[in-house]
Chains A and B, each alone.
Chain A
Amino acid sequence: MTVATATLGILALGLLAYAWQRGDGSHWRAARQGWGTMKRTMPLLMVAFVIVGYVNVLSPQDLVQAWIGPESGWRGLVLAEGVGMVLPGGPYVVFPLIAVLYGAGAGLGPAVTMITSWATLALVSVTFELSFMGWRFSAVRWGLALAFPLLAGVIAQLVFSA
């Protein structure tokens, strides 16, 4: 998180300096524009973060471990995709959880499916996507991506697990 903040901070400052040296006041227009967007979306963001908090607190970790065993096959892949969608939070929360499952004997295929599903389909991210991009964009992107975590899991299982 600190690396991300530093990277974004430097990027923002660099762009701001570039805007300022153009000498046409575009740095002020940019700041006002950013502030306007922030003010408009703040209520949405606050609600989204309340959802993030509850998903974290209610964390379905016990259930996850009970569902995805080592001998799962297709059922395991489908479950892994579903679990990936509802996994809460960022990589700091999700990777340790998947590491536990993998260490406990979850197959390579379901593990790959779960990571891919979490990365592309996570419902927590979709709440942000809906706020900023509208439901049509979410429907197109999410709908197109839906089949690929399963496919990735199958390929991983067939090609890489030897």
Chain B
Amino acid sequence: MKDRTTLVLLGVALGLAGLAWWGGGPELALAGLAQGGRTLLSVIPLLIAAFLIAGLTQTLVTQEVVSRWLGVESGWRGIALACLAGALMPGGPYVYYPIAAALLAAGASLGALVAFVTAKNLWTVTRLPMEFALLGPQLTVTRFLVTLILPPLLGFLAEALFGRRVERIREAVNS
């Protein structure tokens, strides 16, 4: 499962490298590689903290706790809690997806996980000051208001439509 994903991503990376070479010669192909390497190096402290938190989440938070608070039985409370957690979570996708995967492994429902990721994407408290500063109050406030409902809404939709398939998603990630 993970090997196949790696191969697909490797194909995309090679395709982009080819595109860069074709458009800008070997210099641009190298520049892309160097840029990726620099970005990776700059987020290594974040990555270490994120993987440590993921490990601690798995160890400290027992399956019973996750099932009770975020599991299928948790209903709208679980989705609300997941939204709150997503809003407060700092960092990029390499931070919140390992944590989401840990919650999935521990028994969180599909609705709670979709709500967590969507709240991280749209409510995230740590990004709002920057959005406000760079895009101005009108655009930021409008954007925030019209997407305010989406994290719980998508959580409910995912749970209602696909909630019963969560075991297959869990198996694929655990294997």
Distance A50 CA – B17 CA, assembled complex (angstroms):
9
Pair B173/A133 contact, Cβ less than 8 Å: yes
Distance A31 CA – B169 CA, assembled complex (angstroms):
25
Interface of A is mostly: helix
Point out the residue from B23, B60, B100, B162 that lies within 8 Å of A133, measured CB to CB: B100
Interface of B is mostly: helix
Interface size on A, residues (CB 8 A): 81
Using Cβ atoms and an 8 Å threshold, which residues of chain A touch B52?
Answer: 12, 15-16, 30-31, 34
Using Cβ atoms and an 8 Å threshold, which residues of chain B touch A75?
Answer: none
Interface flags, B152-175, vs A, CB<8A=1, else 0: 001001100110010011001100
Distance A112 CA – B146 CA, assembled complex (angstroms):
9
Using Cβ atoms and an 8 Å threshold, which residues of chain B touch A8?
Answer: 46, 49-50, 53, 90-91, 95
Pair A134/B114 contact, Cβ less than 8 Å: no
Distance A31 CA – B53 CA, assembled complex (angstroms):
9
The range of chain B's interface size is 35 or more
Pair B55/A35 contact, Cβ less than 8 Å: yes
Point out the residue from A26, A134, A148 that lies within 8 Å of B169, measured CB to CB: A134
Using Cβ atoms and an 8 Å threshold, which residues of chain A touch B36?
Answer: 49-54, 56
Distance A47 CA – B93 CA, assembled complex (angstroms):
14
Answer yes or no: A46 CB below 8 A from chain B CBs.
Answer: yes
Pair B2/A102 contact, Cβ less than 8 Å: no
Using Cβ atoms and an 8 Å threshold, which residues of chain A touch B172?
Answer: 134-136
| CB closest residue in chain B, given A57 | B32
Query: What is the minimal beta-carbon distance from A44 to any residue of chain B, in angstroms?
Result: 5
Contact A34/B13 with A19-B59, A53-B37 known, Cβ cut-off 8 Å: no
Distance A41 CA – B99 CA, assembled complex (angstroms):
13
Using Cβ atoms and an 8 Å threshold, which residues of chain A touch B113?
Answer: 133, 137
Residue from the set A27, A148, A155 with the largest chain B CB neighbour count within 10 Å: A148
Answer yes or no: B63 CB below 8 A from chain A CBs.
Answer: no
Residues of chain A in range 65-79 having any CB-CB distance to chain B below 8 Å:
none
Pair B147/A152 contact, Cβ less than 8 Å: yes
| CB closest residue in chain A, given B133 | A95
Answer yes or no: B77 CB below 8 A from chain A CBs.
Answer: no
Q: Can you list 22 pairs linking A and B with CB atoms under 8 Å apart?
A: A9-B45, A11-B49, A15-B60, A34-B53, A34-B54, A35-B51, A45-B40, A54-B20, A54-B33, A54-B36, A58-B28, A91-B127, A111-B139, A111-B143, A115-B135, A130-B8, A132-B173, A136-B168, A140-B110, A141-B117, A144-B158, A160-B146
